[in-house]
Structure 1
Amino acid sequence: MGAQRAAESKLRGAPRSAWARAWRNAAGSAGGAEEDWMSAVGGIVPTIDLREHWKGVRDQGARGSCLACAASDAHMHAHQLSDPLSADGLFYRGVQRMPMKDPKHGLTFQAAKGALAHDGQCREIEWPYPAATPSPWLVPAGVGTLWYGNLSYKAHASSEIVLKLQAGAPVVIGLMINEGFRDAAAPHYVARDEGADLGGHAVLGVGLGKSAEGTQLVLVRNSWGFQWAFGGHAWIDTGYIDAHLIGYAGIGALSNGSGKRTY
């Protein structure tokens, strides 16, 4: 558990890009036809594909907010919302639950769990995501409706992540990544298990597929902008996940009472 907590403490991971432009640019850079831009990723057609639930991808910038970004999109899906929830709001509330209260240290799953269950999230339009942590970092005026979630954290194998995706639920995945993940590129945009370690990172599992060799692949939604990999998405095989997994979490919707509460 000590090593796991140390890994969690390193989790890092923003604003939204134009959805259509992101995917058309990605399809074009991969040499794919425009009609395939929400279909195949690197020539691999997903068997499960949840990408349509979000408009664009996030770009966390140089902030340690990857877990907040991934959890915000999973939480949005849990409440079946059409607009994003505030990643900066979740990051702020989670940081207040961290021992050092320092955003440079990112979040743990436990801090995110407490913030979702007890503080809730507003819409991102009410609490936008800034490229850098504000100083002072304050709750904006005019925050209204809050949504609450139950984050269920586990540290098991990739097989359970696959089962959750098969059931139609996105999965927040914490990994110790390396340069092979960072450099996922054409033609197939599959992360390679190679290169120097880069620390902990969180992504959102949003689909499943199979390589030409029959290897089970998980499609992940990153928070490094649409320029990364294929429109901000890449494939990770389950062997990579099992070798580098910190833990994973599903997020369910909790009742928010009257639906009205202010900070």
Structure 2
Amino acid sequence: MNKCILVVIQITCAPTQHLKTLNPHLDHAAFDAFYSNEHCPYMYNAGHCQVSSFGVGGTNGHAIFWGEARKPIVDVKQKLLVKVMNSAPPIIADGPDPADWEYSGPPFDLKDGEKCSITYWKDPVTGDEEVRFDRQLKAIAAPAEFYCTSGNHNDWTDDRMVEGDRPGLFFQEVEIPDSGRLEFRILADGEHDRSIGPEETTESRSVPIIGPGSDVRTSWIATGRPGDLMRIEYMTTQGPSGGAGLQSVSWFPVEA
């Protein structure tokens, strides 16, 4: 009971003493519980704690304690920011050339828009603290092996395009739907999360192209007589690549 009182006064979950390993003979997956082995502050400024007592003779007791914090809630993000700002990263000078020195602080050549991951580590034995900055590199899309069209001519599934006689050229001849309106976009490797389309749904060939990406939902619109064939051509200067490069899309009717 004393432990519960201290918990609701401090609004901090107290650890279970001497807990190192859970009993492997108990089905922990069937009992949704969290076993704390360190102090964990509550998410809110108030909370409750409960304790049960089971008597040998069959008499059971259960007590519920509720309390409100007597101290302000700690802004963990702000404290981490202060700690990072006050922790000067060490510089290990290995040789006369500064390019060979070891340095774990923010990169000097960090550009606008680039991000770093910050790692804070404290040695449990010596108490030494270390803050490390690592540049987050942008993931490079894997090159596409082929391209497909997706539109109202194939119920927005995927039909593989044919490689043209020039590097980076892909084409397909599709039939104009009964509405006389053909809507389509391009899929890298036939994957809808690597869609390529215009910046906005349009009938123009000059609108900037976006993608590949999972958030591309726009399409090109071509009109014609229902049943006629329309040739769609996709050109990329990077060849069969899923990365962003110079791209163009064109279409024109196929003469009978």
> Aligning the two structures, in what range does the TM-score lie when normalised by the shorter sequence?
under 0.3
TM-score (normalizing by structure 2): 0.18
Larger relative strand fraction = 2
Higher relative contact order (CA 8 A, sep 6+): 1
Larger relative helix fraction = 1
